Structure 1
Amino acid sequence: MATTNKLYHTLGQNGPKLPGIGYGAMTIEGGYGGGNTEEAALEILRTAAEECTLIDTSNVYGDPRAPGRNESLIGKLLQDREYRSKVFICTKFGLVMGIKDGSLVIDARGDPEYVRQCCEESLKRLQVDQIDLYYQHRVDRSRPIEETWGELKKLQEEGKVKYLGISEATPDEIRRAHAIAPITALQIEFSPFTPDIRENGILDTCRELGIAIVAYSPLGRGMISGEYTSPDQFEASDYRRFMPRFQGEAFTENLKLVEAIKNIASKKGVSPTQLTLAWVLAQGEDFFVIPGTRSLSKLKDNIAAGSITISEEEKEEIESVIARIKVIGDRAFSPAGVKLNAW
C-alpha cells in the first residue's frame, strides 16, 4: 500500500486544507517511555514534514524536568527554510508541569502575562516568526477564560500566531473563547476508546461554530496496535503505567475492544491502526488525527491510512463493537503518582 497521505480536510471555517493525518510529536521525546536519539527523531520529523504537513507539539513536551525540549528539537528542523515552508506547526501553552516531593505536579495557567511569555519562548525555541496554530493546552479555571483569550487575540493581531485553538474545553468555554477570537480547532482525545465528544455536546458545539476537531490519542494511546498484552511491557517512565485504563483488570477487559477491531481490520486486509485512523477521519470532513510514534515504519503505516476508505457497513460494524464493549477505567492519569526517578 502506498504511503501517500491522500485525504485532505479543511481546518476550521477559514483555515488551510491539510492532510487529515498529521503527526503528534510528544512521544518522540518521551512520555510513553524513552525518546529517540536526535538523528532518529529528525528523520521521523522530516518524513512527517513531507507527508503529514501538520506537526503538533507543546511547550511542556519532553522530559518533565526540561520542558520545551520537544519544541527545540522541532526548531532544528524548521530552521531549514525548505522544511519551514512545508510544515504547519502547532504548539500549545497553559499546561504547567512542576515537581513536588519528587513527584510530577500538573496545573493550568492562563493569565495574560504568562500567555505572552509562553508564546515568545515557543517562537524562539521553534525558530519561527509565526506559530501557525496556537492552542490553549488546558483551561485555567481560576480566572475568566476571556482574560486568556483577550491576550491571544492580541498575539494574533500582532502576527505572532496565525490561527487559535483550544484543548480539552467544555462547550461553554469553547463558546466564550470563540466570542473573543475565532477558534479554528479543538484538540481533544477521540478514539474507539474515547468517543465521548459525540454525546457530551462538544462535537455539536464545534460544528455549530465551524471548529475543526483535531483528535489526539486516536489509537487509544497505542493499545489498538495490538502490541501490548500486559502493563508490564511499559517502561518505568511511561505515563500509561499511571492511567486507570492500563492497570490490572481494566487492562485485560479493554483488550477485548482491541481484539474486536483487529478482527475487522484483518477482514479488510489493513492494520488495526490504519482501520482506526480511517474510522476517525470518516467521522466527518472536520476531523483530523495526530497519532504519535517513535518508529519511522509505524509513521508510514499511519500515513497510509489516508488512502483507506471505510464503507458504511464497516463503519456500522465498528460502531457496534464500540457500543457493545465498554471501556473500563478513566482516560486521565494521576500526576501526583508519577515519580521523577522513573526518568
Structure 2
Amino acid sequence: MKLKLSILGIRGIPASHGGFETFAERLALHLVARGWSVTVYCQEEGVGNITESKWRNIHRIHVPVKQTGALGTVLFDLRAILHALKSDGLFLTLGYNTAIFNAFQRLKGQINIINMDGIEWRREKWGALAKAWFWINERLGCWIGNHLVADHPKIKEHLATRVHGSKISMIPYGGDEIRFADVEILKRFGVEPDQFSVIIARPEPENSFLEMVRAFSRQRRDHKLIVLGNFTPGVNEFHRLVVEAASDEVIFPGAIYDSAVIQALRFFSRFYLHGHRVGGTNPSLVEALGAGCAIIAHDNPFNRWVSGSGALYFKDETSLASLFERMLAVDDISIKNMKDASRARFNECFTWESILHEYEVLLSAWHPMGSKKDS
C-alpha cells in the first residue's frame, strides 16, 4: 500500500506565489516519484463546489473562496481542513497562521506535522490585531501539531521555548544551483555583468529597503542598483520614502516573476543585497547562494547562519555605505572568493536533493503506517 500525504496551508501547485508553494511542488513531485500518493489543497477564486484534478500524478483538491486577501486565505484554510477530515494518511501543514483550525485534525486523531515558518508576529508591517492573531496561532500550532519543523536553528530555539525540543526537527529550505544565465537579458535593464548589484524582496520595512537604498545613494557610485519589488509610491508611504531616497543610479523595474530574468540578475550581479531582519531560512537568500552571488546581508543570526562566513554583513545604513565604498573598489579575485564561498555553503546545506531526502525520512517515520507514536 502506498504511503499517503496531504499538504495543507499553501495556495496550490504548480508554484506561482512564493517559497512554500515552490517547496510543496518539489516535495510532492519527489514523493510521487518515490511511490507516495500525494494530495495538495489549492486555493481558487470564486464560488462553487470543491473540485479535484490531477497534475503530474499529484492529486489536487481545488477549494474556491470568493473573498480575497487575508480573509480569503483564512476561509480557504478552514474549508480545506474540514475537507481533509474525511481523509486518511499523514498531513503536512505549511505555516501556522491558521493553526487554530488544525485542532479539528487533532481531535479527529489525524497525524499532522506543521512547518512553523518564521516568527510572523514580529514583522513590522502587521498591526496589533494581526500580530495578536499570529502570536496566538504560533502557540496553538506548537501544541496542536504532532511534530514541528523549523527551517532554521534559531527558529528551533524559539519554538523550544514553547514545547520540548524533541518535538522539533530542523530542516532548512532548498534551492537550485545556477551555473548559467542568459546575459542578453541584462540589456533590458541597461546594465552589464558585474556593473550592478541587486535587491530581490518584498518592499517591507523589516527588509531594510530604505536603509539599503539610502546607503547606496549617499554618493555617486558609477554602479547601478536594481531594486525589484512591487512599489506603489502613490499609495504606500514606505514605498514613497524608498523611491524618493534613491539616486539616479537606482533602477526600479517593478516586480518580476520570470525565473530566467531573476536568475540572470542574480548570476551577473556584483553583489546581492539581503536586508531581511526577521525570519528563518529565507528562500531568496538560499537562491542567491545557489546562483553563486557575492552576498551583503543584514547582520542578524538568521542571515549569518544561512550565508556563512563568506558573506559580508551590515548593521545599519552607515555601515552599509562604508561597505559600498570599500567593496565596489576591490579586485575581482576578492569578489570571486565571496562567490565561491556562497556556492560552497549552498552545496553544504541547501540542495533540494538533501532537503527533500530529510523530509522523506521524517514523513516516513511519522506516517500512520510507520513506527512513530503520537505526541
The structure with the larger Rg is 2
TM-score, length of structure 1 as denominator length: 0.32
TM-score (norm 2): 0.30
